[in-house]
Amino acid sequence: MNAPRKPRFAALAERVAPEGTDPWVLHWEARQAAAAGKDVIVLSVGDPDLDTPGPVIDTAIARMRGGDTHYTETAGRPALRAAIAARHAARSGQSVTADNVIVLGGTQNGLFVASLCLAGPGDEVIALDPMYATYPATIKASGAQLVPVATPATRDFHPDLPAIEAAITPRTRAIFVATPNNPSGVVLTAEEVDGLVAIARRHELWLVSDEVYAGIADDGRVPSIGARYPERTLTVASLSKTHAMTGWRTGWIVGPVDFINRAHDLAQCMLYGLPGFVQEAAITALEMAEECEGRVREYCRHRRAVLFEGLAGIRGIRACWPQAGMFLLIDIRGTGLSGEQFVHQLYRAEGVSLLDGVPFGAAAQGFVRACFATDEAVLLEAAKRIRRFCESLT
């Protein structure tokens, strides 16, 4: 009897599969070990060691008990969309209304919707390298080709505008950027934003600005791409990082009305609206935005310094100071190990979980990423173990 043939899958399934080693395997191994009570330190994901604010939880529980568990508007409730628009306008200076907003399942879902609505087979999408590890699959899911443009360590991971323009072809549809960047923590300057906007205007391109960490930047804002180029900019953000609400999956896109209408059509067949009690909790969160963002901003500012100083002077490595966000890159090229070798050997020897830089792009080769959004004592212990590991190599 002939063996049954393997099932066939769509090309999409191949496009979104991780290339090379899945960077999250070691992270989830460490999470499971920690849950089992083993002596491990997990610095491999940006999930703040903070609780969601109490009033936000209270609102969700009250609305759930009150029966707010039925279908909701696909694009989000008008009150929530208006609150997002008001917060975005206050942060960026861009004049927007609820009609410019669609509510989605976190920043990741927003990036996915942007990719599918802007590009398709035969198109190209530029993204600045290093980029968040899900960007390649998110962009390739549309059928478009990802064109990475390096923001190299020699430039402190800031963009090379002539290189970006040189990468544009007649097939280019959009440029994806993150400010602050994950993993580098770089915040685009006003001059860099102006340069990007000038390039996009010359070539009639969309700009997709991932600003999930903007509330953690100095003064809770970054130079706004949307305010300078409202006709073709999509600003993607969420409550995940600024409000310690990663598991609530509450994000959005702010953009031109004609795009929001297209995104609504996609969300209609994909997401079909967030739970009502989650949306009402999000309104409460936005009403507390100044307080919540200030809390996380101070939390990250202090812990960034703790980890950076703890890693100082370790032979073979150099920590890179991040301007904002929850991560810092560590240059480990002086150890003679690759990033993948470093993170695996460190975890086996000392129980500290970091992420290899390669899944974030070629520009992060020879670097590893550490999250500092956790307890100060944990960071000090992690630095101690990393120091001990590096000393064992020499």
- pLDDT tens-digit series, residues 182-232: 999 999 999 999 999 999 999 999 999 999 999 999 999 999 999 999 999
Q: What is the gyration radius of the CA atoms in the chain, in angstroms?
A: 21
Alpha carbons 352 and 232: distance in angstroms, whole number: 43
Average pLDDT over residues 2-9: 79
What is the share, in percent, of the chain residues with pLDDT greater than 70?
99
Please check whether residues 38 and 97 belong to one and the same domain.
no
Domain termination site, one of 272, 287, 302: 287
Domain termination site, one of 252, 287, 322: 287
Please check whether residues 240 and 136 belong to one and the same domain.
yes
Q: What are the angstrom distances between the C-alpha of 30 and each of 8, 182, 280, 337? A: 33, 21, 34, 21
Looking at residue 16, its pLDDT comes to: 85
Is 233 contained in some domain?
yes
Condensed to tens digits (0 to 9), the pLDDT of residues 15-65 reads 888 776 677 788 889 989 989 999 999 999 888 889 999 999 999 999 999
Please check whether residues 113 and 167 belong to one and the same domain.
yes
User: 217: helix, coil or strand?
Assistant: coil
Is 4 contained in some domain?
no
Please check whether residues 235 and 318 belong to one and the same domain.
no
Residue 174, beta-bridge partner list: 125, 206
Check: CB of residue 149 under 8 Å from CB of residue 165: no
Is 12 contained in some domain?
no
Looking at residue 24, its pLDDT comes to: 79
Residue 128, beta-bridge partner list: 149
Looking at residue 20, its pLDDT comes to: 64
Looking at residue 387, its pLDDT comes to: 98
Condensed to tens digits (0 to 9), the pLDDT of residues 85-136 reads 999 999 999 999 999 999 999 999 999 999 999 999 999 999 999 999 999 9
Is 225 contained in some domain?
yes
Q: CA angle, 348 as apex, 342 and 351 as ends, to 5°?
A: 95
Condensed to tens digits (0 to 9), the pLDDT of residues 253-278 reads 999 999 999 999 999 999 999 999 99
Condensed to tens digits (0 to 9), the pLDDT of residues 135-186 reads 999 999 999 999 999 999 999 999 999 999 999 999 999 999 999 999 999 9
Is 10 contained in some domain?
no
Looking at residue 247, its pLDDT comes to: 94
The CATH number of residue 227's host domain is 3.40.640.10
Looking at residue 1, its pLDDT comes to: 57
* Average pLDDT in the chain: 95
Looking at residue 210, its pLDDT comes to: 98
Check: CB of residue 301 under 8 Å from CB of residue 147: no
Please check whether residues 192 and 239 belong to one and the same domain.
yes
Condensed to tens digits (0 to 9), the pLDDT of residues 81-96 reads 999 999 999 999 999 9
Is 259 contained in some domain?
yes
Please check whether residues 263 and 237 belong to one and the same domain.
yes
Print the domain residue range for 388.
19-48+291-393
Q: What are the angstrom distances between the C-alpha of 169 and each of 70, 120, 126, 152, 289? A: 46, 15, 10, 22, 41
Check: CB of residue 113 under 8 Å from CB of residue 266: yes
Domain termination site, one of 260, 287, 314: 287
Check: CB of residue 332 under 8 Å from CB of residue 15: no
DSSP string across 166-213: HT--TTEEEEEEESS-TTT-----HHHHHHHHHHHHHHT-EEEEE-TT
Condensed to tens digits (0 to 9), the pLDDT of residues 276-306 reads 999 999 999 999 999 999 999 999 999 999 9
- Strand 352-353 relative to strand 41-42, pairing: parallel
Structural domain total, the chain: 2
Please check whether residues 114 and 213 belong to one and the same domain.
yes
Residue with tokens 């969160």: 285
Alpha carbons 212 and 136: distance in angstroms, whole number: 18
Mark out the alpha helices in the chain (DSSP H runs). Answer: 11-15, 24-35, 54-65, 78-92, 106-118, 135-140, 161-166, 190-203, 225-228, 257-268, 276-287, 289-310, 339-350, 376-393
Please check whether residues 385 and 331 belong to one and the same domain.
yes
Alpha carbons 131 and 150: distance in angstroms, whole number: 10
162 CB neighbour count, 10 Å cutoff = 10
Alpha carbons 47 and 55: distance in angstroms, whole number: 20
pTM equals 0.94
- Strand 101-104 relative to strand 251-254, pairing: antiparallel
The CATH number of residue 385's host domain is 3.90.1150.10
What is the share, in percent, of the chain residues with pLDDT greater than 90?
90
Average pLDDT over residues 359-385: 96
